Homo-oligomer: A and B are copies of this chain.
Amino acid sequence: MSQEPSPSTQSPPKGFTANAVRAGIRGKDRLDLGLIASEVPAAAAGVFTRNLVKAAPVLYDMELLKSGRARAILVNSGIANACTGETGMEHARACGKMAAAAAGMETGEVLVTSTGVIGEFLDLSCFSAHMDELAAGLAPDGFERVARAMMTTDTVPKTAARTAVMGGVETRLLGLAKGAGMIHPDMATMLAFVLTDAAIDAPLLRELLVRGVNASFNRITVDGDTSTNDSVLILANGMAGNHPPATGDEAASFAAALNSLLEELALMIVRDGEGATKLIHVRVKGAASDADAARAAMTVATSSLVKTAFFGCDANWGRIIAALGRSGATFDPNRTAIYIGNVKLVQNGVATGGDAESRATNLLGKAEIDLEIDLGAGPGTAVYHTSDLSLEYVKINADYRT
């Protein structure tokens, strides 16, 4: 794990500070409690797990965000505060209250997020003992520490930055994310925070966030599992001084920057997928509809047999076509083509021959692989991003809690 701060955190959006401390949550001596704060109240929006089982902090934040405003995000790793019942809700409220008091804010201004083991209770004394230290250390150079404090099975901290121009004014966006397992469309055991000094009203902010998440975090998969804690939060504090955009068109530059930022964070998560040795872009075109393309791409991207074949550098396209066949997409197998990089492996549903396979096999040795599937059935397209399924994935997950 590199200790060098990422360049993306060097120039954070105006008015945001951050800090992280070692709070001893789950008994580990590591950065595990982080706080991000805005000098002034910010427009805020969130997108949360669609899992029926939602962690206490998710339920807490969903309620809080009805106001469309927030000033801070508290995050802990180690324990997810999920499946903890009414006690868990009380713990989420207590954490928010402690952070607000320490940072001089209203309780309703602090979003609370947790990630880690499900079903265990937070020890509030870890929070109370370190909250003042946490708030006192808030600084513009603290984001890298927060990115580290969010990590669970992640091997690298994940941050990215963009700039956007609105009404002639440059605004900055900074993103922080964590996630490596339980990664799947409709999110997963991941958290992502986006901070911006842009002025943008909460309803439009929310609309842009939902659109961006659908094209990024909802297009990645590591293991097909989703979690109880997934949250993407955005705070826009307006300190860049731009005039708030009235329409999506006026926010086009911001939306493009946001989408690009979210995609970069999402791909960082797949690249750091538990045990992953490869990032695979599954692009489906020629589907009867975009929905069919998404079904086909997702089924291929989540197939254990396809993912182990990629791990083994085996251009086993039979597994790809078998996954397509069970995806629910409507197509004629006899019109299907499959490419690895620029190598056409399959044409009209049958192999193009041994030379193509050996060239494709060479490409599978790379860390980033393009798999393209043409279903020959229409104009539908979709992209999913996935990782391979390695021995290390099994090792990590067979004894995560020990």
Whether the pair B400, A311 counts as a contact (CB closer than 8 A) is: no
- With beta carbons under 8 angstroms apart, the residue of B225, B305, B351 that contacts A181 is B305
Whether the pair A51, B318 counts as a contact (CB closer than 8 A) is: no
Which B residues touch A111, using CB under 8 A? Answer: none
A194 interface residue, CB < 8 Å from B? Answer: no
Whether the pair A326, B83 counts as a contact (CB closer than 8 A) is: no
Least distance between A35 CB and chain B CB atoms (Å): 26
Among A120, A303, A329, the most chain B Cβ lie within 10 Å of the Cβ of A303
Whether the pair A399, B326 counts as a contact (CB closer than 8 A) is: no
A334 interface residue, CB < 8 Å from B? Answer: yes
Whether the pair B321, A118 counts as a contact (CB closer than 8 A) is: yes
Whether the pair A85, B349 counts as a contact (CB closer than 8 A) is: yes
Residues of chain A in range 145-198 having any CB-CB distance to chain B below 8 Å? 181-182, 184, 186
Q: What is the chain B residue whose CB lies nearest that of A398?
A: B312
A314 interface residue, CB < 8 Å from B? Answer: yes
Whether the pair A225, B319 counts as a contact (CB closer than 8 A) is: yes
Number of residues on chain A facing chain B (CB within 8 A): 66
A343 interface residue, CB < 8 Å from B? Answer: no
Q: What is the chain B residue whose CB lies nearest that of A118?
A: B318
Q: What is the chain B residue whose CB lies nearest that of A329?
A: B52
Task: Return the CB mask of A314-357 against B: 1 if under 8 Å, else 0.
Answer: 10111101111110011101100000000000101111000000
A117 interface residue, CB < 8 Å from B? Answer: yes
A386 interface residue, CB < 8 Å from B? Answer: no
- With beta carbons under 8 angstroms apart, the residue of B118, B308, B401 that contacts A397 is B308
Least distance between A202 CB and chain B CB atoms (Å): 28
Least distance between A188 CB and chain B CB atoms (Å): 10
Which B residues touch A83, using CB under 8 A? Answer: 318, 321, 333, 346, 349-351
Which B residues touch A323, using CB under 8 A? Answer: 225
Whether the pair A324, B118 counts as a contact (CB closer than 8 A) is: no
Task: Return the CB mask of A358-387 against B: 1 if under 8 Å, else 0.
Answer: 000000000000000000000000000000
Which B residues touch A52, using CB under 8 A? Answer: 324-326, 329-331, 333
Whether the pair B399, A85 counts as a contact (CB closer than 8 A) is: no
Whether the pair B85, A322 counts as a contact (CB closer than 8 A) is: no
Q: List 18 A-B contacts (CB under 8 A).
A: A51-B326, A52-B333, A53-B321, A83-B333, A83-B350, A118-B319, A119-B318, A120-B351, A223-B305, A224-B224, A224-B302, A224-B304, A225-B304, A225-B323, A304-B389, A305-B397, A309-B400, A314-B401
